[in-house]
Amino acid sequence: MVGWRARYDVVVASDVSGRDGLGWEFTARDGNSGSWAVFREDGGCFPVFSSSRGPGGLPDQDDVQAMTEEAVADLLAAAGYPDEVGWITRNLSAALAMASLDIFSWQGEEWALESDADDRPTRWAGPGDPRVAFEWLRASSDRRSPVVVTYQDDGIFGLNFISDAKRCLRQAGDGSLRPRSDIPLIRGQVDQVEVVYDTLAEDGSCPGLVSEVLLHGDSSQTLLIAAEAYAPEEWHLYDECVVALTGLAEADKLTWFPGRHSWRSTEGARP
């Protein structure tokens, strides 16, 4: 045996703890290196993938990534969505691997809510606005600093966690973009991540789209959605921005075009 299989045992189980789906649970053979779980929830209108820490310490970053990718590839295929190229598997897995991070801070470039004909911003999101749009976000953490951007699948956009583009925070704004540091998103230990694989999204070439990601901490959440503001109160899903909200309840209360499909979080549930 090579790689993580030399150090971890895995149990694959379905329909457990009142959940409808399939999951992989990894446990360290030495009893000290922690555990990790990846699950596909099928109880809603599209698959929702989740990852969670187990008791004890975490596997190292390479093991987390390798275990998650193998689990996700199997769970996609078992649901009838085989990923022959492997890009969706890597992207889903990179998002799920954020449950292994302790986040210190966020930075990125924010999009204005409104701009004039000369691309001069006329309105920015305020502290009380429920959603804020970014061109990109970077989370600084104890293990790595993942960047979140969007990717295009024909006529729609999803969230991309594996971009190799270099992102440097500007010192000043540029047109409808302004640099933001110390962005008030989830901080501290991320305990669980949930990723929507939206199989209802139209105008894409893949069977599904990575459209929403929910990060759970001890006392807060951050929801990221691929969307864009066409006006302060007109937000279009499957579009070119990374939109940040405080959680599912906030997203459910807001108006989206086209209409957004609500989904149920399985926070705390394990396979």
- CB atoms near residue 269 (< 10 Å): 18
The domain in which residue 40 lies consists of: 1-100
d(CA 246, CA 67): 29
Of 66, 100, 134, the residue at which a domain comes to its end is 100
Q: Which two tokens stand for residue 16?
A: 């457990």
**pLDDT tens digits along 144-185:** 899 999 999 999 999 999 998 788 888 888 889 999 999 999
CA distances 242 to 109, 159, 236, Å, are: 10, 7, 12
**Does residue 118 carry a pLDDT above 90?**
no
How distant is the alpha carbon of residue 161 from its chain centre?
A: 8
- Written as one letter, the residue type at 105 is S
* DSSP class of 4: G
Mean pLDDT score, 173-201: 95
Of 67, 100, 133, the residue at which a domain comes to its end is 100
Of 41, 70, 100, the residue at which a domain comes to its end is 100
Q: Which two tokens stand for residue 155?
A: 């006529």
Mean pLDDT score, 63-81: 96
* DSSP class of 17: T
Contact yes or no for 23/37 (Cβ under 8 A): yes
Residue 90 domain-assigned (yes or no): yes
At residue 271 the predicted structure's pLDDT band, cuts being 50, 70 and 90, is very low
Pair 144, 230 in one domain: yes
pTM equals 0.95
d(CA 76, CA 135): 28
At residue 269 the predicted structure's pLDDT band, cuts being 50, 70 and 90, is low
d(CA 140, CA 103): 6
Pair 148, 219 in one domain: yes
Pair 81, 137 in one domain: no
User: What's the structural domain count of the chain?
Assistant: 2
- Backbone dihedral region of 159: left (phi > 0), alpha (psi from -120 to 50 degrees) or beta? beta
